[in-house]
Amino acid sequence: MAKLSSESLSGTAGPFDRFAKLARPPLEDALLQSLPPSVDRAPSLSLAMREALLSPGKRLRPLVALAAGDLVRARRPAATAVAVAVEYVHAASLVLDDLPSMDDARRRRGRPALHVTHGVATAELAAVALLARAFELVSEAPETSPATRARVTAELAGAIGAGGCCAGQAADLAADPSALTLEDLEAIHARKTGALFVAAVRGGALAGGAGERTLTALTQFARNLGLAFQITDDLLDHEGDPARMGKDTGRDAHRANFATLFGPAASRQLVEELLGAAVETLSAFGPRGGVLADLARVVRDRKS
Amino acid sequence: MLRSEPPPPKQPLRRRRLEALLRREGSTARASQRSAASQSSIVSQQSLEIALNPKEPQASAPIGLDEARQRLRELGYLSGAVERFVFRRALEGRGGLLLPAVLLGALAAAVAALAAVDAGEPGFGSSAASVCALLLHLFLADLLPASLAALAVALWADRSRAPAEAATAVGLLSFAAIFTLWIGGMWGLARAIPPRSLLWGAPVSVAALFLARSARSGFLARAYAHSRVLPARPRSRVFFAAAVAGVLVAVGIFASRGETPAVAAPHPSPRSGTVVVAAIDGLGLDGQPGPALAGMQELFGRGRTAWWPTPAGVSPPEIWTDLATGQPASRHGVRALERVRPRGSPLSLRPPFGTGWYLRRLGPRLSLVSAAPVSGRDRQSLAFWEITASAGLPSLAVGWWASGPWPGAEVVGNEEILARAADGIAADRDALVEFGRRRQDGEPVQTVYLPGLDILRNDPEKRSVELAQVRRFLEDEISRALAGPGALIVIAADSHPRSGALGRMTVFDGAGEWKMIRARSSDVAPSILARVGVPPAQDLAGQPLAALFREGSLETTTVATYGPRIAPAAPQSRQSDREYLEKLKSLGYLN
């Protein structure tokens, strides 16, 4: 099993940190530029979209898409278009997830949730608009062939739709929260969390014309990474600091999750092993996989 | 109906959700008047009742780490390596996991054997056709042992509890096997190893490296497919280190057997008279004596004799080359009557280490390999007439196995004699005719090999006739030797020995009373050389038998070595080879 970098232990920035430091400002610019112009008579929708999209976040998924694009030497404008679309989808999913009919969360990214500030209806409309805009951006992606645009569209649609986030959320709502098995939890979170990670790496790689073998390897990477991310999420929810998390914690304390299912110590061990497996998948790419491999360390050490 | 009791303490969020759903349901019902589409979201009151009054939750039992791993693997996680080449295939089926290792193993073994042949066969490397043909043959030949090895590796992998370490061991064993083939092959085929042979270390190392990695990957994949436990990531540096170590070992070994520098010819102290050496194959004097044999025994009783046990199951060329060179077959290199010629190769060769089963047995049956007769090219040690000729003493040799042209010597090869002989009587007659025609008075060394009695070993009638012919020749030579200053040395050995048959060397040079001593076959050549006046080499396996000769007639000084025999290039003719082999068969050889 591959070992994770110890850079975090020494406090130095790893390859992903350096990559993120360079890639995040242009990404934020691209996000800002990608917002549609405000529409007459619906200023609240535009404002809600803007707030949902530009609220301070880690931008982990778009950065993953960019890193995957770099891995296969994608042209940066093409990968950026995919990364921005991924962030749109992620922002929409957070808005929907926070709704009273869903998780009924009050805070998100250190701020009041969108439905709290703009109302449920506007939040729902903003989420739908964000999703639509994501597909619009992919369809206009520069330096990208029509076939690639179609494939990326299909990847995002798959991550969102009946086999993706929506299915995961529906399964989550329908499940008996106290009697969730490992398989139930995996089925829910592979769709709610993992699917968009997978779409991000596959979309970024597709922007660079990646072949099926590369896509398969990256899918395996993202699946392991996504599950590790979810388990750390559960651990943070279990024992994290709400101020650092920027969202309500302990909300799921009553229900089974990975942290309660395995226990904290075993959960941390499994996170290590999942991330090790993810890094192992990248070994075929050699040094080019360094940024994504270091992402495993970021996930392991994250505090929010 | 809501229960009057408070909800279980672990249910607040779900209850909030469901209550929110109920509230929304009211609004949805109102909204349904505006939109038929919302009908799909109506949840029955009954469903909500059930949802709000769940059965007592069953607490999920904590999952142990091992079980969690197992179940996550079943869900496709914790399997980063499975998407790599071999692990992906491991999930699809175990059958072909070691196929790359089998193919690379056969290729690496073929390259190693090819390198050994190139070191042992002068001129082989310059023939691209020979190299390509042999590489192809060896690759095909090595597929079977490579497959068997892969089977063993697969069984090992299925039972391995430490697959990472075991896989590394498999890789290192692969290395060892390939380097053993290379080094062992060179050791067996080449008396002296030219420095350029070490250049083969590069392709051999690369091939072994690929094999080791492939074998290790196959092992890991097989172990993974069997246990579904991902092994630790293997380290590749150990194989690079093994490659370097292997080449260094090869260099060290080859340095000890490097190309022997040219050795100056020994300075002879020529004796007066001619030393005639008559080599008679098939003459065992220890069997059932008949009248002819009794006469022969009486003849031999007039000289001094040394005897040695004759090994069974050894070919005539090997026995007689032992006697001619004073060296064992492991040094002179002549073993069988035949060499092999893989189809497509213009050159014949000796099978390298580990490939005899194919090149000698399977290949000929499949008509992929043909035979070529053994020749002077195959002998790596000097025969006594070549040593005397190199020492400046004119020499004549007629009819010996694995003989050929040599500077300073007049040589009539075995194939020339046998090619025109209809049977053993004719073979010996032709040999004696050639011997008589070419011998010159005062020539220090004259030797003739007579195969007739061996050819006629199953024909008593003709054998008696032949015995009479040999006896007449010996009587003449004995009379001449006893009358003059020269000597006659008769070597009798049976290359198809019956039980109890002995090899013997009888010396007729006017020495005193009859004597019989125990000796070794390797003592024959040094004795002849010492009698001719050439200092025997210290690296010969035997020593002069002083007890057989007149006192003071043997050279007492020695030299360190005669050096290697570098055979003069001789053209090979496949047609004449084939005819020669057919002739050998017709004379009773190769049966």
Which of B227, B256, B285 represents a domain boundary (last residue)? B256
Residues B169 and B283 in one domain: no
B33-56 pLDDT tens trace: 333 333 333 334 444 444 444 444
Let me know whether B23 and B88 are in one domain.
no
Q: What is the pLDDT of residues B362-386, one digit of tens each?
A: 888 888 888 888 888 778 889 999 9
In the numeric block, which tokens belong to residue B445? Answer: 């060394």
What pLDDT, on the 0 to 100 scale, is given for residue B55?
A: 42
Does B114 lie in the same domain as B22?
no
Is the same domain home to B288 and B249? no
DSSP state of B559: B
Q: Is A146 exposed, middle or buried (0-12, 13-18, 19+ CB in 10 A)?
A: exposed
Q: Which residues pair with B305 in a beta bridge?
A: B506, B516
The residue type found at A172 is D
Give yes or no: residues B202 and B311 share one domain: no
Decide if A202 touches B, using CB distance below 8 A. no
Question: What's the token pair of residue B591?
Answer: 């049966």
- DSSP string spanning B221-256? HHHHHHH--PPPPPPSHHHHHHHHHHHHHHHHHHHH
CA distance B456 to B355: 34
**Per-residue pLDDT tens listing for chain A (304 residues):** 444 444 433 345 678 888 999 999 999 999 999 998 877 778 889 999 999 999 888 899 999 999 999 988 899 999 999 999 999 999 999 999 899 988 888 888 778 889 999 999 999 999 999 999 999 999 999 999 999 999 999 999 999 999 899 998 888 888 887 778 888 888 888 898 889 999 999 999 999 988 887 888 889 889 999 899 889 988 887 765 655 555 555 555 556 688 888 888 888 888 888 888 888 888 767 777 888 888 888 888 876 6
Q: Closest approach of chain A CAs to the CA of B94, in angstroms?
A: 20
Instruction: Report pLDDT digits (tens) over B255-277.
Output: 776 555 667 778 888 877 899 99
Q: Is A184 on the interface with B (CB under 8 A)?
A: no
The span from the CA of B567 to the CA of B374, in Å, is: 13
Please state which of the ranges B309-313, B419-423, B485-489 shows the lowest mean pLDDT.
B309-313
CA distance A261 to chain B (A): 5
Split into its structural domains, chain B has a count of 3
Give the strand pairing for B275-281 and B445-450.
parallel
In a domain, B354, yes or no: no
Mutate to test the interface with B, among A176, A181, A201, A219 (most CBs of B within 10 A): A176
For residue B457, report the phi and psi dihedrals to the nearest 5 degrees. -60, -25
> Of all helices (H) and strands (E), which one includes residue A261?
helix A258-262
**B475 shares its domain with B423:** yes
Bridge partners (DSSP) listed for residue A111:
A108
In eight-state DSSP terms, residue A283 is G
B288 and B250 part of one domain: no
Nearest to B68 among A103, A182, A217 (CB): A182
Residue of B nearest to A1 (CA): B232
CB contact under 8 A, A178 and B59: yes
* Same domain, yes or no: B32 and B149: no
| ipTM score over 0.85, yes or no | no
Same-domain pairing of B415 and B539: yes
Whole-model pTM: value is 0.52
pLDDT bracket for residue B589 (50, 70, 90): confident
Q: Which residues of A touch B63 (CB under 8 A)?
A: 182, 261-262, 266
* Angle at CA of residue B535, ends B534 and B540, nearest 5°: 110
Segment holding B276, helix H or strand E: strand B275-281
pLDDT tens per residue across span B142-186: 898 999 999 898 888 888 877 778 888 898 999 899 988 888 888
Thinking of the domain A7-301, which architecture would CATH place it in? Answer: Orthogonal Bundle (1.10)
What pLDDT shows up at residue B8? 40
Task: Examine the domain organization and report whether B235 and B291 are in the same domain.
Answer: no
Res B68 pLDDT > 50: yes
Q: Is residue B474 part of a domain?
A: yes
Of B223, B256, B289, which closes a domain?
A: B256
Q: Across the interface, which of B21, B59, B77 has its CB nearest the CB of A101?
A: B21
Domain shared by B165 and B307, yes or no: no
Range of the domain at B27: 12-52
Range 250-279 of A in CB contact (< 8 A) with B: 251-252, 254-256, 260-263, 266, 269-270, 273-274, 276-279
Domains of chain A: which residue ranges?
7-301
Do B24 and A269 count as a contact with CB atoms less than 8 A apart? no
Q: What is the pLDDT of residue B519?
A: 92
B144 lies in some domain:
yes
With beta carbons less than 8 A apart as the criterion, state whether B340 and B138 touch: no
Are B101 and B183 in a shared domain? Answer: yes
User: Residue B32's pLDDT is what?
Assistant: 38
Which of chain B's residues have a Cβ under 8 Å away from the Cβ of A201?
none
pLDDT of residue B575: 64
Residues B444, B270 contacting (CB under 8 angstroms): yes
Instruction: Decide if B110 is inside a domain.
Output: yes
Q: Do B79 and A176 touch (CB under 8 A)?
A: no
Q: Note the Cα B194 to chain centre separation in Å.
A: 19
Report whether A88 contacts A130 (CB < 8 A).
yes
Contact residues, chain B to chain A, C-beta under 8 Å: 8-14, 16-17, 20-21, 24, 54, 57-60, 62-65, 68-69, 71-72, 75-84, 88, 230, 232-233
What stretches of B8-78 adopt beta strand conformation (E)?
A: none
Instruction: Say if B68 falls within a structural domain.
Output: no
Q: Is the pLDDT of residue B590 over 80?
A: no
High-pLDDT (> 90) share of chain B, %: 18
Mean pLDDT of B196-200: 80
Cα–Cα dist A116/A110, whole Å:
13
CATH number at residue B519: 3.40.720.10
Q: Does B511 map to a domain?
A: yes
* B86 part of a folded domain: yes
List alpha helices for B422-459, DSSP H: 424-438, 452-455
Asked if A281 lies within 8 A of B80 by C-beta distance, the reply is yes
- The helix or strand, by DSSP H or E, that contains position A91, with its residue range, turns out to be helix A76-98
pLDDT of B89 reads 52
